Amino acid sequence: MARIAILAIAALALTGCATTPATDDGTVKVVASTNVYGSIVTAIGGDLVSVTSLIDSAAQDPHSFEASAQNQLAIAKADLVIENGGGYDDFVDTLLAASSTEAVVLNAAEIVTLPADTNEHLWYSFSDIQTVATSIADELSSLDAANADTYEANLADFSGQLSTLAEQAAGLGDGKTAAITEPVPLYLLEQAGFENVTPDEFSEAIEEGTDVPPAVLADTLDIVGTVALLAYNSQTSSPETEQVKAAAEKAGVPVVEFTETLPDGEDYISWMTSNVAALAAL
């Protein structure tokens, strides 16, 4: 998974103390590992929070993220830090360990009690995000009790939109099979009723950045021509995933692209609405 480069750590010591802190504007300072969680915090906190997302673009590969002195400074100034956990964004723990911050840390995987060695991309699970959003609202209310009613009202709005998404997704894939390049959207596919028939050895090798055994690749290429869709992680690719994508396109199998972080100009709800709509259009 993503790790902080040694040079970046050195830069923190050299430049971190030279940066002039911004004037406190009275908002709750929140640092999120990715813009996915940053968007959720913004939906609940609105103008009452100032959010810094360490990974804030779909052009950034979370698996090769390198932290900066600015990232370390943001952690040092934070009131609340939100990470996915489950081994996905360990760079946050490294930043926390190098900081004297007294920020509250919310670990989404721990909040939903994600089992070890389980698909860590839990932001594609609407029920898990509901649980995490509730914890975020509770913590914001604790940090800023004067505005607790606003946080709770915003949470209610966000929860209603999640419920709508879950209703729209339910049943879209009943009786259908799917192939994936990585487990990124697997929770959403399962909620929709799709059965993932991809060999585990293939998606695990792609996610871990290791070579796919030739026999496993051959099996995957055979399977991809028989499924209702190929869920393709467009944020990370390899020669093997390109072969699988080409095989799907040749067989006339729809290729639905998913990302790990928010596309530019999207928030969490609009992003997931587009993902559900893509499944509904099959």
CATH of the domain at 242: 3.40.50.1980
Measure the N-to-C terminal CA separation of the chain; round to a whole number of Å: 33
Residue 193 lies in a domain: yes
Asked whether residue 265 falls in the same domain as residue 224, the answer is yes
Which domain does 116 fall in, by range?
6-163
Q: What's the whole-model pTM score?
A: 0.90
pLDDT for 66 equals: 87
Residue 94 lies in a domain: yes
Tally of structural domains, the chain: 2
Residue 172 lies in a domain: no
Q: Any idea what DSSP says for residue 181? A: S
Residue in the structure block whose two tokens are 């792609």: 206
Residue 170 lies in a domain: no
pLDDT for 18 equals: 29
Residue 169 lies in a domain: no
Asked whether residue 200 falls in the same domain as residue 69, the answer is no
Tell me the three state secondary structure of residue 80: strand
Asked whether residue 30 falls in the same domain as residue 103, the answer is yes
d(CA 180, CA 220): 10
Asked whether residue 141 falls in the same domain as residue 40, the answer is yes
Residues of the chain below pLDDT 70: 1-23
Residue pair 99/72 in contact (Cβ under 8 Å)? The answer is yes
